Structure 1
Amino acid sequence: MKKSLFLMLFPLVFASCEEFQTRKISSEEILIEETRDFNWHEVDNYPAFAECRNITEVEAAKACFGNKVSQYFYSRLEAKQPVVTEALDDTLYLYLKISEKGTPAIDSMEIDSLVLNQLPEIRSWLSQSVDSLPKIYPATKRGIPVKTTFRMPVVIKAE
């Protein structure tokens, strides 16, 4: 009985060995697979100020950061109390770069010539506002701090 059971299982052992072979995957293949599926244009966590840091929903965190930056810029610009000769109602765009260390900097600005004529110091005012922003925690992707750039509209209304 034992001999017949052994003879029945013996061919099964050799046939099933091929099923247990695994293919080795190199680290380069894993990296290629990961980077193909990796979305480089989105972050897991947006940059944040201390009061926005505990927000877990991505869109709410983005909105909190954008609102805080806008409030800060508007309060700094209002403190300058600029005087204009013509009414202004325009939007300028500020490209705000946040480094992987959380350091803010202006990447570039889109400012209409009419605004520059009426407010020639607007560039320096915006630069000063960025330099004095409170501590920013950088954006992260898979737990790693990354640099990000935001296009921030700044509405200029003056009468």
Structure 2
Amino acid sequence: MKKILLIICLLAFTSCDYFEKRKISSEEILSEETRELNWHEVDQYPAFEECRNVMESKAAKACFGNKVASYFYARLEAKQPVVTEALDDTLYLYLRISEKGIPAIDSMEVDSLIVQQLPEIRTWLGQSVDSLPKIYPATKRGIPVITTFKMPVVIKAE
């Protein structure tokens, strides 16, 4: 009987390790969350006042892009540039929106023909960006983040 009691006690003491719970530190949780997040997408795109109530991701992005494009085209059209030969080309503007909602041109891909015909195009686009209305920044998990958009700007002149 004592042998059976001794064996049961030994089994009880050695099997307690199976019930021990592993504690996970907050650093481990943060590290795991960071690995799982898709850092190339935001939860909410930057928005102008009239686009803030659009909740669906693609529609919100389209609303923002369309508003920026229409604003740029209106500003460029007001300049009434004069060209010596017809233009039908696209330049690419990399528009950066800071975590505070401040727009800036990150870079531009401009064909040399456009620059030759419209030497002030960079200045005009810079002025257009500087005068954009208030922008609410993009968010990721409720935190404002920096975003960059590649925006095509079609230049047609005759």
* Alignment TM-score, normalising by the size of structure 1: 0.88
Q: Which residue of 2 aligns with 1:146?
A: 145
Q: Which residue of 2 aligns with 1:107?
A: 106
Deviations 1:37-88 (CA, angstroms, capped at 9, x unpaired): 0111000000000000011100000000000000000000000000000000
Runs (4+) of structure 1 moved beyond 4 Å?
14-20
| One-letter amino acid of the structure 2 residue matched with residue 81 of structure 1 | Q
Deviations 1:113-137 (CA, angstroms, capped at 9, x unpaired): 0000000000000000000000000
Q: Which shifted more, 132-141 or 31-40?
A: 31-40
Q: How does 1:3-82 map to 2 (within 5 A)?
A: 21-82=20-81
Q: Which residue of 2 aligns with 1:136?
A: 135
- Aligned pair count reads 147
Q: Which shifted more, 134-143 or 32-41?
A: 32-41
Q: Which residue of 2 aligns with 1:6?
A: none
Rounded to whole Å, the distance in 2 between the matches of 1:105 and 1:119 is 21
| One-letter amino acid of the structure 1 residue matched with residue 26 of structure 2 | S
Deviation at 1:31, TM superposition (A): 1.6
| One-letter amino acid of the structure 1 residue matched with residue 144 of structure 2 | P
Rounded to whole Å, the distance in 2 between the matches of 1:140 and 1:41 is 12
Q: How does 1:117-136 map to 2 (within 5 A)?
A: 117-136=116-135
Q: Which residue of 2 aligns with 1:8?
A: none
Deviation at 1:20, TM superposition (A): 5.1
Rounded to whole Å, the distance in 2 between the matches of 1:23 and 1:116 is 64
Deviation at 1:21, TM superposition (A): 3.3
Deviation at 1:22, TM superposition (A): 2.0
| One-letter amino acid of the structure 1 residue matched with residue 98 of structure 2 | S
Specify every segment of 5 or more residues in structure 1 that has no aligned partner in the other structure, as ranges. 1-10
Rounded to whole Å, the distance in 2 between the matches of 1:20 and 1:69 is 59
Rounded to whole Å, the distance in 2 between the matches of 1:20 and 1:81 is 78
- Specify the SS of the correspondent of 1:60: helix
Q: Which residue of 2 aligns with 1:3?
A: none
Rounded to whole Å, the distance in 1 between the matches of 2:123 and 2:38 is 35
Deviation at 1:35, TM superposition (A): 1.1
* Alignment TM-score, normalising by the size of structure 2: 0.88
